[in-house]
Structure 1
Amino acid sequence: MTCSKIFSGDLPAELTYEVIKYFQNDDYSTLHSCLLVNRLWCRLAIPLLWENPFSINTGNYNFIEIYLHNLNDDDFNTKLNEHNIVNNSLPSNLLFNYPKFLKYLNIRKFILSVNKWLESAIITSNPKNRSNFKVLIDICATIFKIFIENKVNLHVLEIENLSDYYHKCFVNILKLILKNTEFIHNIRNINLFNVSNTLDYYYISQIINLQQNLKKISISDNLFLYHSLLLSKKSDCSNTLTIIIFYKVNFNFKFLWANKIFERLNHLNVLESIHILYCSFNNNFNQQIINLTKPFKLKSLLIDEKSQIGFESSKLLLQKSGDYLENFGLCPSYFSSMIESNELIKLITKYCKNINFFYFTMHEIQFTYQIFNLIENIKQNLNYLSIDVWPDFIGLKSIESTPSSMILQNLGQILPSKLEYLHLRLYFIKASDFEVFLKNSQDTFIKKLSINTGLGQDILPLIKNYIMKKKRVKYLAINDSSKELISLKEVNEFKLYNIEVQRHSDLMIDLYDYIKEIN
Structure 2
Amino acid sequence: MAYQLVDDCLNEIFEYLKKDKNTLHSCLLVNHHWCNVSVRILWRDIWSYKVIDHNRVESSILSTLFACLPSKSKKILQNNKIFISPPTSKSPLFNYHEFCKVLSINKIHKIVINYFKPPKNNIKHKLSNNKQPLKYSRKQIVINEIIKMISNQTLKKLIHNNNKYKPNINFNYFSGLKDLSELNCNTNLPPDFFYKLSQICHNLQSISIKFYNHDVSNELKELIIMQNNLKSLTLIAFDNSSWENLLPTLTKYSNTITKLHLFNDDDYDCYLPLLSFVKSFSNLQEIIFSLLNFIDFEQLQNTKFPKLKVLKFPDQHPDSEYMIKFLENNGKNLKKFYSCQNGNTFNLSISKFCPNLKSLFISPERISILKTILENCQYLESIQIKCGSYLTKKEVLETIVNYSPNNFCELKICNFMYFDYIYPKDLESFLMNWKSRVSKKLLSLIIIKSENYYNNDFEDNNENITIIKKYESLGVIKFEIKDYKDIEKEEVDYYTSGNFFGR
TM above 0.5, yes or no, is yes
Q: CA RMSD in A?
A: 4.3
- Give the deviation of 1:440 after TM superposition: 3.6
Aligned residue runs from structure 1 range 293-442, under 5 A: 295=306, 297=308, 299-302=310-313, 304=315, 306-307=316-317, 309-332=318-341, 341-360=343-362, 366=365, 369-378=368-377, 380-389=378-387, 403-417=392-406, 419=408, 421-426=410-415, 427=418, 428-431=420-423, 432-442=425-435
Q: Are residues 214 and 70 of structure 1, via their aligned partners in 2, closer, same or farther at CA, if it must alter by over 3 Å?
A: farther
Q: Deviations over 1:446-498 (max 9, x none)?
A: 24533645226564424433523422234x3347xxxxxxxxxxxxxxxxxxx
Q: Aligned to 2:114, which of 108, 112, 116?
A: 116
Q: Deviations over 1:203-239 (max 9, x none)?
A: 75454344323332222337854763x6317x84456
Look up the equivalent residue of 1:220 and give its one-letter code.
I
Number of equivalenced pairs = 449
- Give the deviation of 1:53 after TM superposition: 0.5
| Counterparts of 1:168 and 1:515, CA distance in 2 | 24
- Give the deviation of 1:299 after TM superposition: 1.6
Match of 2:290 in 1: 278
Contact 1:155–1:187 under 8 Å retained in 2: no
Look up the equivalent residue of 1:187 and give its one-letter code.
L
| Secondary structure in 2 matching 1:387 | strand
**Which sits farther off after the overlay, 43-52 or 129-138?**
129-138
| Counterparts of 2:216 and 2:75, CA distance in 1 | 34
Aligned residue runs from structure 1 range 130-279, under 5 A: 132-148=135-151, 150=152, 152-158=153-159, 160=161, 164=164, 166=165, 176=193, 178-181=195-198, 184-192=201-209, 194-197=210-213, 205=221, 207-221=223-237, 224-225=242-243, 228=246, 231-232=248-249, 236-237=252-253, 240-248=256-264, 258=274, 260-266=276-282, 271-279=283-291
| Secondary structure in 1 matching 2:4 | helix
Q: Deviations over 1:27-51 (max 9, x none)?
A: 3233334344555444333321111
**Which sits farther off after the overlay, 504-513 or 107-116?**
504-513
Q: Are residues 248 and 346 of structure 1, via their aligned partners in 2, closer, same or farther at CA, if it must alter by over 3 Å?
A: farther
| Secondary structure in 1 matching 2:262 | strand
| Counterparts of 2:149 and 2:3, CA distance in 1 | 39
Q: Are residues 425 and 239 of structure 1, via their aligned partners in 2, closer, same or farther at CA, if it must alter by over 3 Å?
A: closer
Q: Deviations over 1:352-376 (max 9, x none)?
A: 11222222358xxx55531332234
Structure having greater relative contact order (Cα 8 Å, sep ≥ 6): 2
Q: Are residues 100 and 419 of structure 1, via their aligned partners in 2, closer, same or farther at CA, if it must alter by over 3 Å?
A: farther
Look up the equivalent residue of 1:354 and give its one-letter code.
N
Q: Deviations over 1:132-154 (max 9, x none)?
A: 54455443333222233x1x333
| Secondary structure in 2 matching 1:5 | coil
Q: Aligned to 2:472, which of 468, 481, 502?
A: 468
Look up the equivalent residue of 1:327 and give its one-letter code.
K
| Counterparts of 1:279 and 1:421, CA distance in 2 | 28
Contact 2:381–2:409 under 8 Å retained in 1: yes
Aligned residue runs from structure 1 range 99-114, under 5 A: 99-114=97-112
Contact 2:257–2:281 under 8 Å retained in 1: no
Task: Among all aligned residue pairs of Structure 1 and Structure 2, give the percentage whose two residues are the same amino acid.
Answer: 20
Task: Specify every segment of 5 or more residues in structure 2 that has no aligned partner in the other structure, as ranges.
Answer: 169-185, 498-503
Look up the equivalent residue of 1:46 and give its one-letter code.
V
Q: Are residues 430 and 238 of structure 1, via their aligned partners in 2, closer, same or farther at CA, if it must alter by over 3 Å?
A: closer
- Give the deviation of 1:346 after TM superposition: 1.0
| Counterparts of 1:265 and 1:154, CA distance in 2 | 28
- Give the deviation of 1:384 after TM superposition: 2.6
Look up the equivalent residue of 2:455 and give its one-letter code.
L
| Counterparts of 1:138 and 1:203, CA distance in 2 | 27
